[in-house]
C-alpha cells in the first residue's frame, strides 16, 4: 500500500485509448456493414422491383390503344398507318425534366388467323431492338369484343430512371453512413476528451485530499472501517491498514463508537483519547456522498485542542481568583444559588463559613504586600486541605474567604471552621514574629434569601471580631 491512500483514476493510458478507439472503430464498421447489407438485400431489390412494376404498368396503359386498333373494322393500309402512328406516339413519351424516353423500343407480334389480314403485314419493330439494361414487359393484346388473345406487344422500358433513383438513394445512404461515421468519430473524440478531463479532475481531487492539512477520511455507511484516508488522518489517529484493506485504530474506534454527527447536524466538538492517555479535541463534520456506487460519508477533523485549552483557561479565569487559585466571589454566588435550589427541592442541610484574616492590614504594613500575598496563598492551601470534596472554598473579597458546605448543619460546619482556624494558627512562617489568625462566622440555611443567608454569616463574623478575634461564632 503506497503512502497515497486515496484511490483516484490515473490519466488515460495509451492502451486504454487504443481500446477505446478500437471499440468506436468496430461500431462504425458494424454500422457500415449493416447499411451495405440493407442496401444490397433490401433497398436495391425493392427499387428494381418497383421500377419493373411501374414500367409494366406504363406499357399496359399504352397497349389499350393498340388493342382498339386491332379490334376495329378498318382497311389494312389504314390499320398499318394507325398502328405506326400509335407506336411512334408511345416512343415519343419522354420525361419532362431529362427529355429521356420512357420506352426505348417496341415490338408487335399478332395472330393473323384471328385478325384476318395477310401474315407479316402487321409485324412492327420500332426503336432499339437490343437493350441489355432495359426492362422488358410483354403485354398480351386482347380483342376488345370477344377478348381473344390476338397478339403480344413487347416494350423495352428505359432503365435510366431506376439508375437515377438508385444513384440518388445511394448518395443519400453514403451521406447517412458518412454522417454516422462522423458522429461516431466525434463521439469517440468527445468521450476521450471527457475521460481525460474526468481523470484530471479525479487526480486533482486526490491531490487536494492528500494535501489537506487536516484529517479527512471516507467511510461506507454502517461500516466502522475506513476505506480511504489522507496522510494527515493516518498520522492524527495512528491509523493502520488491516487485511481487508480497511483502516482503523483505537482512537478511531472510540471516536466512531461515541457517535459521529450526521449530515443534518452541525460540526460537533468531540474528544479523542490517544493511546498514551492524552485527551485531544476535534471539530468533526460529515458530508454524505456516493463512492463507487455505495453510499458513503466524507469525515473531516479539525484539531481544536489548543482552542479548548484557551477556552478552559478563560473559563477558569472568569470564576477563579488569580492569586490564590480559589473560586472568586462571582462563582461563589452562582454556586450558592444552585445549592439553595437543591436544598429547597430535597431538604438537606446547607451551611456557609465566612472567614476574615485578623489584622491583615498590619501584616501588609509590617512585612510588605509580598508577605501579605503569601499569607493569602497559604490560607487557600489550608482551606483546600481541611474541607471535604463536596465543599467549595473561595475568596470572598480582600482578606475574606467563604466556604460552602452542602449536606452540613451548623454544628458540622463549626467543627470544620475550628479545624481551619487551628491549622492556620499553628502554621510556621519564615518571619519569626509573624502570627496569622482568622475569625469565622458560621450560618446554616433556613429558607431565607441568598443575601439574608450571607448577611447572617457576616453578622456572626462581626460577633467573632467583637469577641476578641481568633474564634468561630
The strands making up 216-220's β-sheet, listed across from edge to edge, are 240-241, 247-248, 226-229, 216-220, 294-303, 279-291, 268-273
Whether the per-residue pLDDT at 379 is higher than 90: the answer is: yes
Give the phi and the psi of residue 254 in degrees, each rounded to 5: -65, -40
> Can you give the pLDDT at residue 335?
93
DSSP category for residue 303: E
% the chain with pLDDT above 70: 93
Q: How far is CA 151 from the centre of its chain?
A: 85
Of 251-260, 270-279, 286-295, least confident by mean pLDDT is: 286-295
> Can you give the pLDDT at residue 345?
92
Give the phi and the psi of residue 401 in degrees, each rounded to 5: -130, 145
Whether the per-residue pLDDT at 44 is higher than 80: the answer is: no
The residues near 358 (Cβ < 8 Å, ≥ 6 apart) are 436, 437, 438, 439, 465, 469, 470
pLDDT tens per residue across span 264-287 = 678 888 888 877 778 888 989 888
Give the mean pLDDT of 241-251.
82
Whether the per-residue pLDDT at 175 is higher than 80: the answer is: yes
Q: How far is CA 186 from the centre of its chain?
A: 29
Of 20-24, 331-335, 467-471, least confident by mean pLDDT is: 20-24
Nearest to residue 435, comparing CAs of 448, 449, 421, 446? 421
381-390 long-range contacts (CB < 8 A, ≥24 apart) are 382/420, 382/423, 382/424, 382/427, 383/326, 383/420, 384/326, 385/423, 386/416, 386/419, 386/420, 386/423, 387/416, 387/420, 388/416
Give the mean pLDDT of 333-350.
93
Q: Which residue has the cell 444559588?
A: 337
Cα distance between residue 192 and residue 188, in whole Å: 6
> Can you give the pLDDT at residue 4?
39
Give the mean pLDDT of 390-396.
94
pLDDT tens per residue across span 107-134 = 888 877 777 777 777 777 887 767 777 7
% the chain with pLDDT above 90: 30
Query: What domains sit in the chain, N to C, each tagged with a CATH number?
Result: 16-164 (3.30.450), 212-308 (3.30.450.20), 320-466 (3.30.70.270)
Nearest to residue 287, comparing CAs of 187, 358, 219? 219
Give the phi and the psi of residue 128 in degrees, each rounded to 5: -75, 125
pLDDT tens per residue across span 231-244 = 888 888 888 888 87
Q: What cell does 318 get?
A: 472568569
Whether the per-residue pLDDT at 407 is higher than 70: the answer is: yes
Nearest to residue 453, comparing CAs of 344, 321, 324, 320? 344
First to last CA, the chain: 76
Task: Count Cβ atoms within 10 A of the Cβ of residue 108 and give its class: 0-12 exposed, 13-18 middle, 19 or more buried.
Answer: buried
Q: What cell does 429 get?
A: 512562617
Banded pLDDT at 38 (limits 50, 70, 90): confident
- What is the value of pTM for the model shown? 0.51
What's the residue count for the chain? Answer: 473
Amino acid at each position: 500500500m503506497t503512502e497515497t491512500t486515496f484511490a483516484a483514476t490515473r490519466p488515460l493510458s495509451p492502451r486504454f485509448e487504443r481500446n477505446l478507439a478500437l471499440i468506436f472503430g468496430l461500431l462504425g464498421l458494424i454500422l457500415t456493414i449493416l447499411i451495405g447489407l440493407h442496401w444490397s438485400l433490401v433497398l436495391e431489390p425493392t427499387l428494381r422491383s418497383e421500377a419493373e412494376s411501374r414500367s409494366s404498368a406504363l406499357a399496359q396503359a399504352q397497349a389499350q390503344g393498340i388493342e382498339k386498333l386491332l379490334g376495329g373494322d378498318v382497311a389494312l393500309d389504314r390499320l398499318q398507318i394507325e398502328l405506326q402512328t400509335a407506336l411512334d406516339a408511345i416512343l415519343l413519351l419522354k420525361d419532362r425534366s431529362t427529355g429521356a424516353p420512357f420506352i426505348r423500343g417496341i415490338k408487335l407480334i399478332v395472330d393473323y388467323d384471328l385478325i384476318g389480314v395477310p401474315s407479316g403485314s402487321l409485324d412492327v419493330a420500332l426503336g432499339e431492338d437490343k437493350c441489355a439494361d432495359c426492362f422488358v414487359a410483354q403485354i398480351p393484346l386482347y380483342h376488345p369484343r370477344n377478348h381473344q388473345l390476338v397478339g403480344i406487344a413487347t416494350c423495352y422500358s428505359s432503365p435510366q430512371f431506376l439508375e437515377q433513383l438508385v444513384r440518388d438513394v445511394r448518395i443519400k445512404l453514403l451521406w447517412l453512413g458518412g454522417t454516422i461515421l462522423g458522429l461516431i468519430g466525434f463521439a469517440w473524440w468527445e468521450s476521450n476528451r471527457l475521460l481525460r478531463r474526468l481523470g484530471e479532475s479525479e487526480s486533482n481531487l486526490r491531490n487536494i485530499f492528500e494535501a489537506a492539512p487536516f484529517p479527512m477520511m471516507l467511510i461506507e455507511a454502517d461500516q466502522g472501517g475506513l476505506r480511504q484516508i489522507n496522510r494527515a488522518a493516518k498520522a492524527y489517529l495512528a491509523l493502520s491498514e488491516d487485511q481487508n484493506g480497511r483502516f482503523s485504530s483505537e482512537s478511531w474506534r472510540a471516536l466512531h463508537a461515541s457517535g459521529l454527527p450526521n449530515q443534518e447536524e452541525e460540526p460537533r466538538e468531540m474528544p479523542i483519547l490517544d493511546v498514551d492517555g492524552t485527551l485531544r479535541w476535534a471539530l468533526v463534520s460529515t458530508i454524505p456522498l456516493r463512492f463507487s456506487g455505495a453510499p458513503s460519508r466524507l469525515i473531516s477533523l479539525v484539531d481544536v485542542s489548543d482552542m479548548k485549552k484557551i477556552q478552559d483557561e478563560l473559563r477558569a479565569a472568569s470564576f477563579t481568583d488569580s492569586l490564590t487559585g480559589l473560586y472568586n466571589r462571582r462563582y461563589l454566588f452562582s454556586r450558592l444559588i444552585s445549592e439553595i435550589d437543591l436544598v429547597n427541592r430535597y431538604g438537606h442541610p446547607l451551611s456557609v463559613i465566612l472567614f476574615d484574616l485578623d489584622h491583615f492590614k498590619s501584616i501588609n504594613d509590617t512585612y510588605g504586600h509580598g508577605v501579605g500575598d503569601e499569607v493569602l496563598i497559604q490560607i487557600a492551601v489550608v482551606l483546600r486541605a481541611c474541607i471535604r470534596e463536596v465543599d467549595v472554598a473561595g475568596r470572598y473579597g480582600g482578606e475574606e474567604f467563604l466556604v460552602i458546605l452542602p449536606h452540613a448543619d451548623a454544628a458540622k460546619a463549626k467543627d470544620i471552621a475550628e479545624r481551619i482556624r487551628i491549622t492556620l494558627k499553628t502554621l510556621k512562617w519564615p518571619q519569626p514574629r509573624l502570627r496569622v489568625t482568622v475569625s469565622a462566622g458560621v450560618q446554616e440555611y433556613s429558607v431565607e434569601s441568598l443575601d439574608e443567608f450571607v448577611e447572617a454569616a457576616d453578622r456572626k463574623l462581626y460577633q467573632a471580631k467583637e469577641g476578641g478575634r481568633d474564634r468561630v461564632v
